[in-house]
Amino acid sequence: MTVRGVNIDIKDLSHRYTAKSPVTFEKINVQAEPGEALAIIGRSGCGKSTLLHIVAGIVQPTAGAVKLDDTIVTAPSPRWVMMFQAPHLFPWMRVAQNVGIGLRFAGWSEAKTRERVDEVLDLVDLQNYASNNVQDLSGGQQQRVALARSLVMEPELLLLDEPFSALDAFTRASLQRDVRSIAKRLGINLIIVTHDIDEAILMADRALIMAGSPGKIMHEMDVDLDDPRDRQDPSVQSMHTRLMTAFEDAQGKKSDTSNREQPQRSVRTNANRSVSPIA
Ligand SMILES: Nc1ncnc2c1ncn2[C@@H]1O[C@H](COP(=O)(O)OP(=O)(O)O)[C@@H](O)[C@H]1O
Ligand SMILES: [Mg+2]
């Protein structure tokens, strides 16, 4: 597989669903370099899913733009794919067919599809399940099939909207670890939307805290921890405390956004990353 990441440039992005509805968020600016994993943390209703849907090309912004390298996102594409909480598999198809369907639609031969599907099933640790019925798989395994189906198209950017919240704690932890390590191995970008601070710490290189009404990015923090990360690690726990403090601070800022346009940049140690202020 020849996969690579992408430069992400979300510029002055604003959204409101209808002229009568409140502004969902206003002037969101986010930049990321190829291969970077971002987490967006925020309370339910602050506009995280809306933001992700715009990045995925499913929803059009009211103002501003999402640029991936030189492409302005206006529609869905196999280059930027979204994983949802429900895996949305075809129950009458076997695992390999579910994973390969996009390639078959794209005109790939059966043999080439099979080869790529095997490669991707290996990546998500389902190498022995190719001919299983998807209905016989556990929830976690079904999410792995959905992940494989996304990866088979060689995306540059994988978007995850609280994708593991329906899973038990152990299954969730293994998927959090594996999705991060797969993305790192392939060099693709991740944007994970979550209300779970630990999920952000386990999966991201950088966490953005979104809050307010209309929503804004209030804080950002580098998550510069070694891999693999474990919830029990003291470094993970101290990062949790710092992010929680920033999170609570962001909630407190809600009524005070007018004079707090510039978020705090709490830590930034990766000197060669493109650093652009988020305002
Ligand atoms: N299709 C829609 N039409 C109108 N309003 C919507 C729609 N989807 C979401 N909203 C509203 O936009 C706001 C942000 O929602 P959402 O992006 O789902 O937040 P989050 O994912 O952070 O919980 C909420 O007030 C929600 O009710
Ligand atoms: Mg949501």
Q: Which of 135, 104, 140, 97 is nearest to 118 (CA)?
A: 97
Residue matched to tokens 């529609």: 75
pLDDT of residue 132: 98
- What is the pLDDT confidence band of residue 274, given thresholds at 50, 70 and 90? very low
**Closest CA to ligand 1's atom 6:** 17
Per-residue pLDDT at 256 exceeds 70: no
**Closest CA to ligand 1's atom 24:** 45
pLDDT of residue 145: 97
Per-residue pLDDT at 112 exceeds 60: yes
Mean pLDDT of 62-70: 98
Distance 75 CA to ligand 2 centre (A): 20
Query: Could you give the 3-state DSSP secondary structure of residue 3?
Result: coil
Distance 121 CA to ligand 1 centre (A): 34
pLDDT of residue 84: 87
**Per-residue pLDDT reduced to its tens digit, 172-181:** 999 999 999 9
Dig out the tokens for 11 from the structure: 């510029």
Distance 78 CA to ligand 1 centre (A): 25
Give 190's strand partners.
37, 158
Q: Is 46 in the pocket of ligand 1 (CB under 6 A)?
A: yes
Per-residue pLDDT at 273 exceeds 70: no
**Per-residue pLDDT reduced to its tens digit, 224-251:** 999 999 999 999 999 999 999 999 999 8
Q: How far are the Cα atoms of 60, 157, 191, 239, 266 from residue 247, in angstroms, in the given order?
A: 28, 26, 18, 12, 12
Calpha distance 258→169 (Å, rounded): 39
Per-residue pLDDT at 259 exceeds 80: no
- What is the pLDDT confidence band of residue 261, given thresholds at 50, 70 and 90? very low
- What is the pLDDT confidence band of residue 272, given thresholds at 50, 70 and 90? very low
Q: 204 with 223: CB under 8 angstroms?
A: yes
Per-residue pLDDT at 203 exceeds 70: yes
Q: 148 with 115: CB under 8 angstroms?
A: no
Q: 57 with 224: CB under 8 angstroms?
A: no
What's the whole-number average pLDDT of the chain? 91
**Per-residue pLDDT reduced to its tens digit, 24-47:** 999 999 999 999 999 999 999 999
Q: Residue ranges per domain, the chain? A: 1-79+157-279, 82-154
Per-residue pLDDT at 127 exceeds 70: yes
Mean pLDDT of 35-61: 96
Distance 185 CA to ligand 1 centre (A): 33
Per-residue pLDDT at 75 exceeds 90: yes
pLDDT of residue 243: 96
Per-residue pLDDT at 182 exceeds 50: yes
- What is the pLDDT confidence band of residue 208, given thresholds at 50, 70 and 90? very high
36-73 residues labelled b (16+ CB within 10 A) or e (exposed): bbbbbbbeeebbbbbbbbbbbbebebbebebebeeeeb
- Kindly report the CA angle at 218 between 8 and 239, in degrees rounded to 5? 90
Q: Is 44 in the pocket of ligand 1 (CB under 6 A)?
A: yes
Per-residue pLDDT at 156 exceeds 90: yes
**Interacting residues of 92 by C-beta distance below 8 A, sequence separation 6+:** none
Q: 182 with 151: CB under 8 angstroms?
A: yes
Ligand 1 atom index nearest CA of 46? 22
Per-residue pLDDT at 269 exceeds 80: no
CATH 3.40.50.20, applies to 1-79+157-279: no
pTM of this structure: 0.89
